[in-house]
A and B are shown apart, each in its own frame.
Chain A
C-alpha cells in the first residue's frame, strides 16, 4: 500500500493552520474567530494523527482525543462567553470589546 508521504500532511496542516491564524487575525466576528481557533486545533490534531501513524506510536492519537475533549470544553466555555458578550453589547464584534486597557 502506498502511503501518502508525510510531507503532504505537513504542508496541508501548515496551510490549514495558517488559514486558522489568518482567520483569527482578520475576522471581527467572535464566532468566526472561535471557529478559526478550532481550525488551528484541528490542523494540529491531524498532524498528530499523521505522525502517530508515521512513527507507529499510538501516543499521538491518544493526544488527539485529549485535545478534542479539551477543545470541546473550550468551545463550550467560549460560546458561553460569546453569548454573555452578545447579551451585554448586542454585538459579537470584538472591536467593541476594548474597555480593558491602560
Chain B
C-alpha cells in the first residue's frame, strides 16, 4: 500500500504533463487550470500521507526505511540500477516542500498566466518540472537523482525560454542549461567514481560501505568534490551562478518555483543526502563552506545595486543558498535543511508578491519606476513586507530561526567567520528593505496607464500569497530551539538521517550556552534593525532614487552595478576563446592541415603520374635500353645478395 502511494506521487504530475502536452491547445483553459494544479495537489496529499507515516515511524524510533522498486532500469554485469524510490525523513520533508509550495505556485499561475497564449504549455512544463523534481528527491540511488537532476534542468530551460519569441530569453535559457550541464558533468564523474569505489550507486549500499572509510580518504574527497560541482551548477554558487539572474527571464511563477523554492535547492538536498560522504571528507566540507560563504557575500553585495525587482530576488536567492552551503560545510545539515524549508516559503512568497507587483505594473520590473505601491496594492504590500522581514531575519519569523541556526553553528567554528556571515545577513536586510521601500513607499514613479489599473491581483493569486505569508511567519515552529521554548522537532526528525555523519564532524555543532546564544541573537537583531533604519532613512526619508549618474561616480558602486563584470569575464575567458578555437580548428587545423594532407595524398598520385609519364618517350630504343639496365640491375642485385 505504502509502496503504491509512493509510486503514485510522481505519476500524477507526469500524467498532467502528458495530457496537457499532447492535448496542446485543444484542452479548454478551465480544464487545464484544473489538471495543472490538481495533479500537484494529489501528489501533495499523497506526500502528506507518506509524511505522516514516516513521522509516526520516526516517533517510534524507526531508523531504517524501505526502498520502493518501481522497475529495473538496467542490469548489466556488476551494474544493477533499478528505478526505485527511497523515502526517509529527509525526502519526505522535501516531498512536502516540493508538492506543497509547487501546488500554491500552480494555483497562483492560474491567475498570472491567464491571458497568455501558451497557457496549457505552461502548465504542461510546470507539471513536468514537478515530476522531475519528485524523481530527484525520491530516487533511491544517485542515477535516479541524476535523472531528476537533468530533468529539472530541462524544464528550467523550457520555462526560462517560455516566451520563445524573445531571443534574449532564449539566450538566458540556453545559458542556464549549459551552465547546469557543466556542473552535471562533475556530478556524472562523481557518480562514476562512486560506482568504481563502492560498486553501487544505491544510497543504502554506498552509505553503508562508506562507513568503512577513514575520514579524509582521497577518493571520498574526490567523489564529494565532483558531486559538489554538480551542486554548484544546480544551486547557482560561485563560479557557476551567473545563469540564475538571467533565468529571471521566465514567467515569475517559474522563478518562484524553480529558481527559488525547489530546483536550486537540489544541490543542498544532494549534499544533505550524501552527508556521510561529506562528513568523511573534511577538505570538501571546507570547500563547501567557503564557497557558500563567499557566494553569500558576493551575491548580497551585487544585490545592493540592482534595480530589477526579480534580479534582486535572484541574487538574494543565490546569497541564501550560499548560507545553506555554509551550514552544510560546517556540518549543520539540519540547519541547512531548515533554512531550505523556510527559504522555500519566504522566497516563493517574495517572488509571487513581486509577480503580483509586475502584474499590476504591466510588466514593469524596474523598481526605480515603481514607488508608492503600498496604498494601491495593500495585500501585496503586507505579504511582501512579511517576506522581507522574514528574509532579513527578524524574530519571530521563520527566517530568523533558520538563519540563526546556521549563524550559531558558524560561531562555534570561528568568530571571524561569524562576523563575515553576519555582514552578509546585514547586507541582506539592507537590500531587501531597499527593495521594499523603493517599491512600496514614496511617490508613484510610473506612467499614467499603469496607475489606472494599479490594484491587487485576483483572489486566485492572493490566496497562495497569504498562505505562504502565513507559512513564512510560522514556519520557524518546526525547529524552534529549546532556548525559544521549542523542541527542535526537525532536529530530532532528521536526526536518524544524519546519525552516521554527526560523530565524524569535528567539534560540537549546536551547543552554545544560552548566554552566548542570546547575546549573538541580540547583536544580530540590533544590527539588522539598524540596517532597516538606514534603508528607511535613505529611501523613504531622503527618498533617494538610485540613478545611473550618481552611482557610476563611485568605483565600488560601479563594480557592483556591473555585477563584478563576471559575465564579461566569462565571455572573455570561455565564450570567445572557444569560438576562436572553433575557428582555428576549422579554418587552420581542418582545412589547411588535415584536409590538405588528405587531398595532398590524392594530388601526389596525380603529380607523380604526371612526372613519371615522361619516361614513356615512345622511343623503342630507350625502352630496350631501360630493359637492359633493369636486367643488369637485377643481376647486380642478385650478385650483392
Contact = CB atoms under 8 A, between A and B. Distances in A.
Contacts of A95: 619, 621
Interface string B605-634: 000000001101111110011001000000
A100 B620 CA distance: 9
B498 to A, nearest CB: 88
Contacts of A99: 618
A94 B625 contact: no
Nearest to B619: A98
B628 A97 contact: no
Given A21-B628, A24-B624, A25-B628, A94 B616 contact: no
Nearest to B614: A102
Interface string A35-67: 000000000000000000000000000000000
Interface residues on chain A, size class: 10 to 19
A24 B620 CA distance: 10
Interface string B563-585: 00000000000000000000000
Interface string A17-29: 0000100110010
Contacts of B625: 25
A98 B616 CA distance: 10
A102 B613 contact: yes
A99 B350 CA distance: 96
Given A21-B628, A25-B628, A101 B621 contact: no
Contact of B621 (A21, A25, A102): A25
A32 to B, nearest CB: 12
B624 A100 contact: no
Contacts of B620: 94, 97
Contact of B616 (A24, A25, A28, A102): A102
Given A28-B621, A95-B621, A101 B628 contact: no
Contacts of B619: 94-95, 97-98
Interface string B241-260: 00000000000000000000
B158 to A, nearest CB: 67
B612 to A, nearest CB: 11
A101 B624 contact: no
A94 B621 contact: yes
Nearest to B613: A102
A98 B618 contact: yes
Contacts of A100: 618
B617 A25 contact: no
A17 to B, nearest CB: 11
Interface in A73-102: 94-95, 97-102
Interface in B580-614: 613-614
Interface in A1-30: 21, 24-25, 28
A23 to B, nearest CB: 11
A72 B324 CA distance: 109
A5 B614 CA distance: 48
A71 to B, nearest CB: 18
Contacts of A25: 621, 624-625, 628
A28 B621 CA distance: 8
Given A25-B624, A94-B619, 19 more contacts: A24-B624, A24-B628, A25-B621, A25-B628, A28-B621, A94-B620, A94-B621, A95-B619, A95-B621, A98-B617, A98-B618, A98-B619, A99-B618, A100-B618, A101-B616, A101-B618, A102-B614, A102-B616, A102-B618
13 contacts: A21-B628, A24-B624, A25-B621, A25-B624, A25-B628, A95-B621, A97-B618, A97-B619, A98-B617, A98-B618, A98-B619, A101-B616, A102-B618
User: Which 5 A-B pairs give the minimum distances between C-beta atoms?
Assistant: A101-B618, A98-B618, A94-B620, A101-B616, A100-B618
Interface of B: 613-614, 616-621, 624-625, 628
